[in-house]
Amino acid sequence: MLPLKYEERRPLSEELKPYVKCIWTLQRAYTGDDASEVLWPDGCKEIIFHYGAVFMKGGEPLPVSFTLGTLSKYCRLHAQGNLVLYGVRLYPWGLFALTDQPVQFFNDRFVPTAQLFPEHAAASLLKLERSISTTDDLSYAQTQLESFLRSRMNARQSRDGLTTALKQLYEMPQSYDVVSAARDAGLSLRQFERQCMKLTGLTPKRLHRIARFNQVRMRLLSEPDADLLDCMVEAGYYDYSHFSKDFHQCLGITPHQFKIWVGRMLSRAGPEHVEFLQDKL
């Protein structure tokens, strides 16, 4: 049986750092009736390569490599057997730098990665898929992944001032709001809304809300006994019903339901089983 292993590394390439949050690997054996992974909305996009057994969604197998846009609610993938995965976790605006397709096209979808790039990149993508399928060495896989991504990066897509504001909005949602982000990007609110939608596939308010509740989610993952009222205040709310409603809109379940789920998962399997596709860096 394959031992469970999960590891994340920051990108080595300075060119990729503004767009790529981390390169990660997961090795795991899936067995039993509940052999699955739960994915939660966190605003990021993922490019995932998986080998061995196959992830299933809705009874349908996913391709060897697929691209996942921003989720609007939690999603469960099922598998049976040993899997080795390599992934590229992109910041919410990272996918824009890799494709000419509208970013919102990928929201709530598992798209074959071949559709992300033009036809002339198909041979390079196939070569990448084959090269990392034969290794369990993250250092080697990271080198191959970053080389491919650099070759596909569109320098004309750079929006340094805008991405800086978006990064603050995403990473500091409790202390940084949409109005401040628009101001710091040097744009009117309407201009900022259009550019945010273009780069992330989300409105600024939606991105800000997901980022805020993702921080609550991460706290509950690390502190499952945390008081929900404290989490509510940290998220900037003073009315629990409003907090619960917005939490449900972002993550698909209520704060109480999520807390129960975390406790059940930790008691059954340990924290390492609830971290797949979620932020640690």
* pLDDT tens for each residue of 182-231: 999 999 999 999 999 999 999 999 999 889 888 888 888 888 889 999 98
Torsion, Cα of 159, 163, 165, 168 (10° steps): -170
Phi-psi region of 32 (alpha: psi -120 to 50; beta: other; left: phi over 0): left
pLDDT digits (tens, 9 = 90+) for 115-129: 988 888 889 999 999
Q: How far is CA 140 from CA 113, 134, 220, 242, in A?
A: 20, 10, 34, 47
Q: Is the dihedral of CA 59, 130, 89, 280 positive or negative?
A: positive
Predicted confidence at residue 105, as pLDDT, reads 93
Mean of the per-residue pLDDT values of the chain: 87
Average pLDDT over residues 96-118: 91
Global pTM value:
0.87
Structure tokens at 102: 């509208």
Average pLDDT over residues 92-114: 92
Q: Is the pLDDT of residue 272 over 50?
A: no
Domains present along the chain, CATH in parentheses: 5-155 (2.60.120)
Extract the runs of DSSP E, i.e. beta strands, from the chain: 5-9, 20-30, 36-39, 45-52, 56-57, 60-61, 65-68, 75-78, 81-90, 110-112
Predicted confidence at residue 96, as pLDDT, reads 92
Q: Is the pLDDT of residue 278 over 50?
A: no
DSSP character for 63? P
Average pLDDT over residues 51-59: 89
pLDDT digits (tens, 9 = 90+) for 144-189: 999 999 999 875 555 678 999 999 999 999 889 999 999 999 999 9
Q: Is the pLDDT of residue 143 over 90?
A: yes
- The better pLDDT of the pair 160, 134 is held by 134
